[in-house]
Structure 1
Amino acid sequence: MRKSEAKELIKQARDAWDAEEWLRAGELYERVLAHFPDLKASAAWWYDAALAHKFLRNWAKAYELGREAAARSPRGEGDPAYWNLGIAATIQRDWATARDAWSGFGIELPDGEGQIDARLGYACVRLDTGGEREVVWIERLCPTRGRVVSVPVTGGRRYGEIVVHDGEPKGERVVEGVSCPVFDELLLFEESELPTLEVTVAAGEKADLEALLELFTGHGFGAEPASSVRMLCACCSEGTHEQERAVGAGTQQVSLAAPEEEARRLLERWAGETAIGRSWSGLGAVG
C-alpha cells in the first residue's frame, strides 16, 4: 500500500467516524495499520480502531486492538488507551493485562494476581436494560467494576450483582457535600442470586425504619425504602443532584434483597424488638 492510498483511507475512516459508522471506521483503520503499524500517527489509529469496537461492544476486538494501542502509548500519564484496554481486558477476564493497563494509566492498585477485588469507595452506575434506565449505588471493586449495593426497581436487576461501567462520568450525585460520579453501565459482569422482595412496613419513628435497614445490610442483604427512589427524566439524570436516603416514620413499601425465609425471620426479629411501633405485612417476590 502506498502512503497516498493510506492517507485517503484514513480520511475515509475519519468521515465514517464522524457519521458514527463504527464498523466501517474500524475496518478502514485496520487496513492501513496492516501496512503501517508503527508510524508516529499509528498510535492514534490503533486507539480509534479499538474505540470503534468498544462502541460496538465487540470486546474481543477492542481487547486485541487495545493492546496494540497501549503498547504505543506513554505509561503513567493517564493515556486513555490504557483505560479502554483495562475495560476490555476486564471483560475478557485477562486480569494480568487489566492490572498492567491500570498501572499504565497511572492507577495504583493493591499488589496481587488474578481478579481485582479492591475497595475503591462508592459511585453510581446508570443501569440500562432494554431501554429502562436506573441509577444505583455501587461499591467499586476496580476502576471499571462495581457491586450493586442498592435494591434496583428495574425488573431483572438485583442487589449484589457486579457490573462493568464506562470511565467517563455522565452526571453526579452529591451526598452530604461529597460528589460521586455517575457512570454508564457497559454490561452485567456477574449475576446475583438474591431475589427482590417487597414488604409494607409501619415504623412508629424514623429510628425504627433505620433499624430495619441496618438489620438487613448487617446480614449482607439489601433494603431500600420507596421514599428514597426519585424519578428523573434522561436529561436530568445526567446532571448534578443532591442525594439523600429519605427515611421517615409511617407506613411505606420497602424493597428487600434476601431469600424470602431469611427476610421473614429478620422482619419478625425487627418487629419483636419493641412492644409497639413496628409491624409489617404483604411480603412477596417482585416480578
Structure 2
Amino acid sequence: MEKSEAKRLLGQAREAWDAEEWLRSAQLYEQVLAHYPDEKPSADWWYDAALAYKFLRDWPKAHELGREAAARAPRGEQDPAFWNLGVAATIQRDWATARDAWEGFGIPVPEGEGEINGAFGPACVRLHTDGEREVVWIQRLCPTRGRVMNVPASKGRRFGEIVVHDGEPTGERTFEGQRVAVFDELLLFEPSPLPTLHVTVNAPEASDVEALVSSFFDQDFGAEAASSFHVLCACCGEGTVDWDESSRPAHGGSQEIWLAAPQEEAGRLLDAWAAGGGRTWSDLRPVD
C-alpha cells in the first residue's frame, strides 16, 4: 500500500469515527495497520480501532487490537490503552493480560494468578436492562468488576451478581460523607443464584425494618425496603445524589420489602425477626 493510499484511508477512518460509524472506522484503520503497524502515529490508530470495537461490544476484537495499542503505550502513566485492554481482557477472562494491563495503567492488583478478587472499594453502576436504567451499589473486585450489593428492582437482575462497568464516571453518589462515582454497566459478567422475593412486613419503628434488613445481610443475603427506591429523571440521575437519608427506611408501619435469598431461608429469617414482638410479615413470593 502506497503512503498516499494510506493517507486517504486514514482520512476516511477519521470521518467515519466522527460520524460514529464504528465498524467502518475500525476496518479502515485495520487496512492501514496491516501495512504500517509501527509508524510513529500507529499507536493512535491501534487505540482508535480497539476503542471502536469496544463501542461495538466486540470484545474479542477489542482485546486483539487493544494488546497492540497497549504494546505501544507508555507504562505507569494512566494511558487509556491499558484501561481499555484491561476491560476487554477481563471480559475475555484473559487474567494474565488483565493483570498486566492494570499494572501498565498504574493500578496495583493483588499478587497471584488467575481471576482478580481484590477489595477496590465501593462504587455505583447504572444497570441497563431492556431499556430500564437503575443505579445500584457494588463492591469492586477489580478496576472494572463489582458485586451488586442492592436488591435491584429491575426485572431479571439480582443481588450478588457480578457486573463489568466502564471507566468513565457518569454521575456521583455520596454516602456518609464519601463521594462515589457512578459508572455505566458494560455487561453482566456472572449471574447470581439468589432469587428475588417480595414480602410485606409490619413493624412499629423504622429501626425494626433496619433490623430485618441487617439480619439478611448478616447471612450474605440481600434486603431492601421499597421506600429506599427513588425514581430520578435522567438529568438528576447523572448528577450528584446524596444517599445518606434516602437509603434508610423512613418509617415503621406497613412496608414492602425486596429480598434476595432462597425462599425457605427467607421465611426462617422472617419468622426469627417477627419473634421480636409487634412485628408481622405476609405474602412472601418470588418476583423473578
Band the TM-score falls in, shorter-chain normalisation: over 0.9
Q: Aligned match of 1:271 in 269, 274, 284?
A: 274
1:94 matched residue in structure 2: 94
Question: Which stretches in structure 1 are left out of the alignment for 5+ residues?
Answer: none
Q: Any residues of structure 2 matched to 1:104-115 within 5 Å, and which?
A: 104-115=104-115
Question: Which stretches in structure 2 are left out of the alignment for 5+ residues?
Answer: none
Provide Cα deviations, 1:150-179, integer angstroms capped at 9, x if missing partner. 000000000010000000010011112211
Percent identity of the aligned residues? Answer: 67
In 2: Cα distance, 1:206 partner to 1:91 partner? 41
| TM-score, reference length from structure 2 | 0.97
1:283 matched residue in structure 2: 284
Q: Aligned match of 1:250 in 249, 253, 267?
A: 253
Structure 1 residue 250: Cα displacement: 1.8
Q: Any residues of structure 2 matched to 1:139-218 within 5 Å, and which?
A: 139-218=139-218
Structure 1 residue 185: Cα displacement: 0.4
Q: What SS does the aligned partner of 1:138 have? A: strand
Provide Cα deviations, 1:105-157, integer angstroms capped at 9, x if missing partner. 00011111100000111100000012111111111000000000100000000
Q: What SS does the aligned partner of 1:151 have? A: coil
Structure 1 residue 275: Cα displacement: 2.7
2:131 matched residue in structure 1: 131
In 1: Cα distance, 2:208 partner to 2:182 partner? 31
Structure 1 residue 206: Cα displacement: 2.1
Structure 1 residue 256: Cα displacement: 0.1
Report runs of 4+ in structure 1 exceeding 3 Å deviation.
Answer: none
2:80 matched residue in structure 1: 80
| TM-score, reference length from structure 1 | 0.98
1:235 matched residue in structure 2: 235
Supply the RMSD in Å over aligned alpha carbons.
0.8
Letter of the 1:72 partner, please give it. R
- Number of positions where the alignment pairs a residue of Structure 1 with one of Structure 2: 285
Q: What SS does the aligned partner of 1:6 have? A: helix
In 1: Cα distance, 2:98 partner to 2:166 partner? 14
In 2: Cα distance, 1:198 partner to 1:217 partner? 16
In 2: Cα distance, 1:6 partner to 1:138 partner? 45
